[in-house]
Chain A
């Protein structure tokens, strides 16, 4: 009998770790859900879920906390992937934000707070989910680096960084009291490069906006914004210009900065990502709020 040849590669170990986490939550939680934002990290998460429970479909639904302001291409892929995976797709739009017409042009930080932070809490309460998978990674941001894989939230969805449960080995304590919930991050230990490479190796479908193409854009406040539909309010003097651009992260289109690029294949994108010297979240306006502690404050308030 030949000895096993190679030790596992880092991607094989990361994949196994994520699958282990997904299965553990399904075994221990009453009503889990996978948050699905249609971005590349969500694409990897969905793929991992399909692997973890194959040949069964993943035994939980996908939840998209929608702001109504995502790129059109994201809505297209969302429908396609739900169908392909055989999973239920739940969409939640904060009714209050809808009624008040909260939008990224007029309401700034309130837009993210109402649609995303509040919307997520509402959706979790509405369906009574006690465990929610998220695609956050520790390499994204300083305060993320210290978050556990199983992150406990109080009944009001608050996060207490000083009172996290210690996580030993790969033994996860998923017990919680009524009303409490867990956010679970199966790809905590992945880097942006790992995500890209995994997408490449597994040929995972992603939103075409990650690849460069000529798109109508305007330059505003140091960000290159794409005019994705006719709700985009142009300021005096602004005229959309066709530029070859792509997106490093995807969110609400009026808040997602594009980068000029000619990368049309995954290899090109990875190459550009590796050679670039601007970190991933810089294209997002959200982290700049509230000074240096932006994300940490948002998380204590219940942002994912």
Chain B
């Protein structure tokens, strides 16, 4: 194992610590911080390089070194020499497999900066981890094995870094020791990379010939590469501009995280300043309401501040009592962000389950969480060639451009202008898994130009004129479970009581409104979405809407529930077991499905997800249709009485 022959200036701090700890602490206190990622293919030597950086910056203690030496002999790949990669590869499983399977964060420091390194995996199936690591990085170190040159993975990692908005790239041509420090080979690799980089929009990068194993040009200039006169890796990392410094000069954006209201005399808006600079007296605008005010105070535990900048977590008091809550954005009055509900965006799909176009999910952007639906991709992007390809969905690690719609207006900036107000995640409403990372491009025109028409007569007034409350009675259950029969009985009973009702039947709707839809998963979702929208309009009119659709997926029923006012949606689960429904087979459909003549038939070759907490459950093997209808009517009218 080679020690650097000359001690680099960046690390020569031991002496200062021993001699004058106060001077050292003062130095450390004023350091800036750079977050970077390392990416490369399997065996490009990432872990070894990071282990080297930690080792050279004395971030390895004696006991760790002892363990490392023992581990190196046991499972190391470097013979008797220290295998630095073992320092970095944390989890037991991957130590055995010899690959990094997750993002690991490492820390080291020089006299100029503190560094946080995200070690990103090279395996194709772990693109999601790379995107994760890259999302918080100011800089990317792209590693290339000098023996192999620019590989498919190199292109993929570079493109992903560019996609996520990393502005600084260092190309580290590693394992120079294994090609005899050959300048011609190095120059060829750099030229090759430069051509590719230009093609994807990376205009500038710093290239270095290094050996993570031997330590050449990592922290010290190597005697083996006299032909190279650029910076060492550490020097390159110490010199690059940090993103937060640039963010401070952009217009003010403060997404409100939490309203601080300890008593009636204090009302502050807490959040991390995403961009810009703020001072007391500054004119601000609260989005989406558009109300304006001025900053009265910048409150912190350490006293009021005269100025605060991007990257700081503060609490603002305003001079006017205006509405402002979590999710709102406080912005520079003269340069506010946009507000829209339809967008074009790039998505990186992170979940095992593929995108289901049209299905509702949560979208979280800064402190805003809204319900969103994603349309089928306009195209997906081949990460190896950056070619656009036709796509109907996005699978794990796929990247595509989509249009999406939110149920409430979203305050946003284009991702290229502001990472905080342009970057979002999608969350599955049932499993709560993080489905995708997204980057907003722009709002679609139709959302900007279509405004809600305010109506003079309220929905409550319409319902009151009918002496009833609007409701949606949503019947769900297998084909042949008895939904339509019971729904019809309910409507007759309500009608007899003088209630204004309307029954939306699955088969009838498919003859008209939804005749363009088939029975694929995507079409079924769209079918339910349209029915939900129609039901919503009818509840606006004050009607009691009764629907009878198989509606097999929980997510879609939840989507419709979310469209309605609280308490308005009544889920009625007609719980007839599959064998019983199949035995009845009123329309002869089960027979056809079993014979293979009907595809995507619920219960046979398409799943039914029963409600977890329906308002009403009807077991048709124990209760007659008449009894069930009576119970449902009582439930509705009981609700109504309770409300009066």
Tell me the A residues contacting B by CB distance below 8 Å: 3-4, 6-16, 19-20, 23-24, 26-27, 50-57, 138-139, 142-146, 161-162, 164-171, 173, 175-177, 188-189, 191, 193-194, 197, 200-201, 267-268, 270-271, 274-279, 282, 292-293, 296
Contact = CB atoms under 8 A, between A and B. Distances in A.
A168 B311 contact: no
A271 B31 CA distance: 18
A149 to B, nearest CB: 10
A26 B32 contact: no
Interface in B240-254: 242, 244-245, 248-249
Interface centre among B67, B135, B419 (most CB of A within 10 A): B135
B258 interface: yes
Contacts of B135: 168-169
A8 B138 CA distance: 14
A4 B272 contact: no
A274 B91 contact: no
12 contacts: A19-B313, A26-B258, A50-B301, A51-B302, A142-B91, A145-B105, A168-B423, A169-B420, A171-B366, A193-B109, A197-B25, A292-B71
A254 to B, nearest CB: 21
Contacts of B102: 146, 161, 164
A170 B311 CA distance: 11
Given A16-B311, A139-B107, A166 B350 contact: yes
Given A19-B313, A167-B132, A53 B248 contact: no
Nearest to A266: B25
Interface centre among B87, B105, B262 (most CB of A within 10 A): B105
B362 interface: yes
Contact of A275 (B14, B31, B244, B309): B14
A10 B114 contact: yes
Contact of B105 (A7, A19, A57, A189): A189
B258 A23 contact: yes
A138 B117 CA distance: 11
Interface in B386-443: 419-420, 423-425, 427, 431-434, 437
Interface in B347-392: 350, 362, 364-367
Given A278-B63, A279-B64, A173 B432 contact: yes
Interface centre among B63, B128, B242, B424 (most CB of A within 10 A): B63
Contacts of B366: 171
The 3 closest A-B pairs by CB, nearest first: A10-B33, A279-B61, A56-B262
Contacts of A161: 91, 93, 102
A7 B311 CA distance: 10
Interface string B445-488: 00000000000000000000000000000000000000000000
Given A10-B33, A188-B105, A189-B105, A170 B272 contact: yes
B434 A23 contact: no
B266 to A, nearest CB: 6
A270 B87 CA distance: 24
B107 A138 contact: yes
Nearest to B128: A166
B272 A20 contact: yes
A272 to B, nearest CB: 9
A130 to B, nearest CB: 12
A200 B25 contact: yes
Contact of B92 (A11, A171, A267, A293): A293
Interface centre among A10, A27, A161, A268 (most CB of B within 10 A): A10
Interface in B87-135: 87-88, 90-93, 95, 101-107, 109, 113-114, 116, 128-129, 131-132, 135
Interface residues of B, number: 87
B31 A10 contact: yes
A268 B25 CA distance: 11
Contact of A168 (B88, B132, B245, B277): B132
Interface string B255-284: 001101110001010111000010000000
Given A161-B91, A168-B425, A296-B92, A27 B32 contact: no
Contacts of A23: 257-258, 270-271, 313
Interface stretch (B16-24, B148-156, B628-636): B16-24
B90 A9 contact: no
A80 B32 CA distance: 35
B433 A20 contact: no
B21 A165 contact: no
B622 interface: no
Contacts of B424: 171
Given A10-B114, A51-B301, A166 B90 contact: no
Given A16-B272, A20-B257, A176-B432, 4 more contacts: A54-B299, A54-B315, A145-B88, A270-B21
B61 A278 contact: yes
A9 B102 CA distance: 28
Contacts of A167: 132
A7 B313 contact: no
A20 B313 contact: yes
Contacts of A165: 433-434
B309 A4 contact: yes
Contact of A9 (B29, B63, B103, B432): B29
B136 interface: yes
Contacts of B312: 8, 12, 16
B617 interface: no
B307 interface: yes
A145 B90 contact: yes
